Chains A and B, each alone.
Chain A
Amino acid sequence: MDDASTTDGFTLIKMRNIDKTYRRGAEEVHVLHGLDLDVRRSEFTAFMGPSGSGKTTLLNLVGGLDTPSAGSIQVDGIDITRLKGAHLTSWRAHHVGFVFQSYNLIPIFTAFQNVELPLLLSGLSRAQRRAHVESALELVGLRDRMRHYPRQLSGGQEQRVAIARSIVTDPPILLCDEPTGDLDRSSADDIIHLLQRLVSERGKTVLLVTHDQLAADHAHTVLHLDKGVLLRTPAGATAA
């Protein structure tokens, strides 16, 4: 267990001895047990497993949306479990993009405005923001739909807008929680291919939670979780 491994140029995410326990009334629910994980930079890693196995919790921990009950999470050399409040918020804004199953676009905003939301936190000028948004929408093939509202887009298009929103600030990590779960096969394939391109062309590190074996097959590494424990560690990303 080399604590300096996230700075070796290859390993971007390093999780050690991660426990996550929720309290539900008097009952304690153990979601993750002593999980160790290394994810390399520009790696496409898929997590599979039955519902309740801890996949989404794992993503939330990596993204700083939740904190582990025990253990440490280092991302690019930063122990994010030590970050609190505004520091964690700022770190998240600069390092992580989220893609959710239900797209989570804000319905009162156009595609352009949805993608622009993360950029409003930056010091970019209006023209600079516009350039970034158009570039992101171009990348996902929806520049011609930027004035459309979510209700005017198909599910696949909505998810592509959500991906554009997640990459518009150019974060190194994309956390995708069942992004193809609500899509037909064709749209799901489009999304997976888009994620592959982001890894190969843009050097993004993608962590994908999915129940879809076909989607997972496109990842460099597929890891299985069951009852909070990583079961199998194929080549590529490693359960340390």
Chain B
Amino acid sequence: MKYLAFFIANLLRRKVRTFMTIGSFAVAAFLFAMIVVINGSFRHGLDTAVTTRLVVANRFSTMQPLPLSYLDRIEQIDGVKGVTFISWFGGVYVDERNFFAQIAIDGDTFHSVYPDVEIASDQWQAFTADRQGCVAGATLAKRFKWKLGDRIPIRGTIFPGTWEFNVRAIYDSPRADKDTSQLWFHWKYLDERREWSKGLVDFYLVRLGDPNEAAAVSRSIDATFANSPWETKTGTEKMFATAWLAAIGDITTLALTVSAMVLFTLLLVAGNTMSISLRERIWELGILKSMGYSDARLFAFLMVESSLIAAVGGALGLAFAKVFTRGGDPTGGLLPHFYLSATTIMLGLVLAVSVGVVSALVPALCAMRLKIVDAIRRV
């Protein structure tokens, strides 16, 4: 504590430069956080995919459907504990910028595969009793200020016309990283109104009793429908999520590359700033050494100074990123899982301080090796 005034005075010695350096750390930390959040949003399906669920899709393309009649046959396969199905509904709510996923589900079988979804039982009953009922995610309901009983018009883009839904339930998750931005409605309502694709579903979702049986059950399902007009391809949720990520490109590599470039640039900027700062203070370091300040102590001082700048800048950038992500998905639905986790914040802080330490390393080592007579001679 006795050196606190020492550090503060040094940090405020060149206020503009200090604030600019803090600013560069803040911007870098903010960018880092955004890259991780966006990457996390893309990878969300992969990270939250469970090993006890299988996805059954059309063998030739996930864009091709499967017949509803498969439901009973899949249920009969050994190792299957539950089966449900879904269909994608591409619709627009008021404006095309209001993107969110609308999924037709089967209320009768949904809980056999997703027993852990949090929906109040009375709301679920209200949903199942209303053919035009829908379940909105808590984030979605908050975004559009929907409440139970509201009537939601959605313009179909695949299946034309205006489709109206009654908000009967709201699902939520205690985990902040869960996607609660979807809208679910009855597949039966979709099937009876649409003019084609009747009796077809996009995917079957299968719950397993034992995750170790995933491969065997997948093979059994695919074998059951082999050589039929609608052959299947079955795999774990994670497998499908990975395939989806591969289809949109290697986001992770891109994100890591950009992160590394940002951090490396910052390292150069911070290192340069620290070097300039040191050159300006060489004689002071010489004076301090003449008073009895040891090389190790001066080394520690410079490291602490740099780390303080990095920590303050990093904390500011991450705090701003946290505030920014609290506002939810800024793209209007493309990044439903727009969430900055505590782990990422800690990682960002550690990275910022590490960059601060590394950038000060060379100047601090120079300060250690500085000969007093040389330093004082520069006055």
Which chain A residues have a beta carbon within 8 Å of chain B's beta carbons?
Answer: 60, 63, 65-66, 85-86, 89-90, 92-94, 98, 100, 102, 104, 106, 108-109, 113, 117-118, 120-121, 126, 165
Contacts and interface: CB of A to CB of B under 8 A. Distances in A.
B245 interface: no
A121 B291 contact: yes
Contact of B293 (A60, A94, A121): A121
Contacts of B296: 86
B287 interface: yes
B244 to A, nearest CB: 57
Contacts of A65: 290, 372-373, 376
B291 A118 contact: yes
Nearest to B293: A121
A93 B291 contact: yes
B171 interface: no
Contact of A89 (B12, B13, B294): B294
B283 A104 contact: yes
A146 B296 CA distance: 30
Interface string B266-303: 00000000000000000110011111111110000000
A117 B289 contact: no
B216 interface: no
B290 A63 contact: yes
Interface in B13-56: 13
A117 B291 contact: yes
Nearest to A125: B2
What DSSP secondary structure best describes chain A's contact surface?
helix
A66 B373 contact: yes
Nearest to B281: A106
A118 B13 CA distance: 20
B291 A102 contact: no
Nearest to A109: B9
Contacts of B379: 100, 102, 104
A108 B376 CA distance: 18
A92 B292 contact: yes
A75 to B, nearest CB: 15
A92 to B, nearest CB: 5
B10 A108 contact: yes
B6 interface: yes
B5 interface: yes
A121 B373 contact: no
Contacts of B371: 66
10 contacts: A63-B290, A66-B372, A85-B294, A90-B292, A90-B294, A93-B292, A108-B10, A108-B12, A113-B9, A118-B292
What DSSP secondary structure best describes chain B's contact surface?
helix
B3 interface: yes
A106 B284 contact: yes
A108 B10 CA distance: 7
B376 A104 contact: yes
Contact of A117 (B288, B295, B376): B288
A113 B291 CA distance: 14
B376 A89 contact: no
Contacts of B13: 108
Contact of A86 (B10, B284, B290, B294): B294
A109 B5 CA distance: 9
Nearest to A117: B291
Contacts of B372: 60, 65-66
| 10 A-B pairs with the lowest CB-CB distances in the bound complex, closest first | A93-B292, A65-B372, A108-B9, A118-B291, A89-B294, A104-B287, A66-B373, A108-B13, A98-B290, A102-B379
Nearest to A175: B290
B10 A89 contact: no
Nearest to B13: A108
A120 B291 CA distance: 10
A100 B372 CA distance: 13
A63 B289 CA distance: 12
Contacts of B291: 92-93, 98, 117-118, 121, 165
A89 B373 contact: no
A168 B145 CA distance: 70
Contacts of A126: 2
Contacts of B376: 65, 100, 104
Contacts of A93: 291-292
A102 B376 CA distance: 10
B279 to A, nearest CB: 16
A87 B5 CA distance: 27
A92 B287 contact: no
B18 to A, nearest CB: 12
Given A102-B379, A113-B9, A120-B6, A60 B292 contact: no
A13 to B, nearest CB: 17
Nearest to B1: A126
A178 to B, nearest CB: 12
A109 B281 CA distance: 13
B287 to A, nearest CB: 5
A117 B296 CA distance: 16
A85 B10 CA distance: 26
